[in-house]
């Protein structure tokens, strides 16, 4: 399996979302983290799992149970997670991110 590389901004987005959900209800943030980790494992096992995103080389995968979408690219040697984005806010804000 290819390694998963998470963009630092995607990690920050996830951390903020976890903190938000923890404030809403204790344990809910950890539920989000678990759902994202399961999604990442599924993407790693089958990089073609996510749907093609518009006319780009990105794919998107909806996190089960939460309104978040993982945007990623299946590269030759790795899977690059470019964003963990809320599905209803600021579409495509992440599209200018580059590999770090």
**What's the whole-number mean pLDDT along residues 90-96?**
69
Match domain 4-86 to its CATH number in 3.30.2310.20, 3.40.50.720, 3.40.50.300, 3.90.79.10.
Answer: 3.30.2310.20
Domain segments of the chain as ranges: 4-86
Give the confidence band of 99 by pLDDT, cuts at 50, 70, 90.
Answer: low
Q: What is the pLDDT of residues 19-72, one digit of tens each?
A: 999 999 999 999 999 999 999 999 999 999 999 999 889 999 999 999 999 999
* Beta-carbon contacts of residue 72 (< 8 Å; ≥ 6 apart): 43, 47, 50, 58, 59, 60, 61, 79, 80, 81, 82
């Amino acid at each position: 399996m290819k390694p998963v590389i998470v963009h630092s901004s995607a990690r920050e987005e996830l951390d903020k979302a976890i903190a938000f959900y923890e404030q809403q209800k204790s344990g809910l943030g950890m539920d989000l983290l678990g759902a994202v980790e399961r999604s990442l494992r599924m993407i790693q096992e089958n990089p073609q799992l996510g749907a093609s995103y518009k006319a780009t080389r990105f794919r998107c995968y909806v996190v089960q149970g939460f309104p978040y979408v993982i945007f990623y690219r299946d590269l030759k040697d790795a899977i690059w997670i470019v964003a963990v984005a809320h599905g209803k806010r600021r579409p495509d804000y992440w599209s200018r991110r580059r590999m770090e």
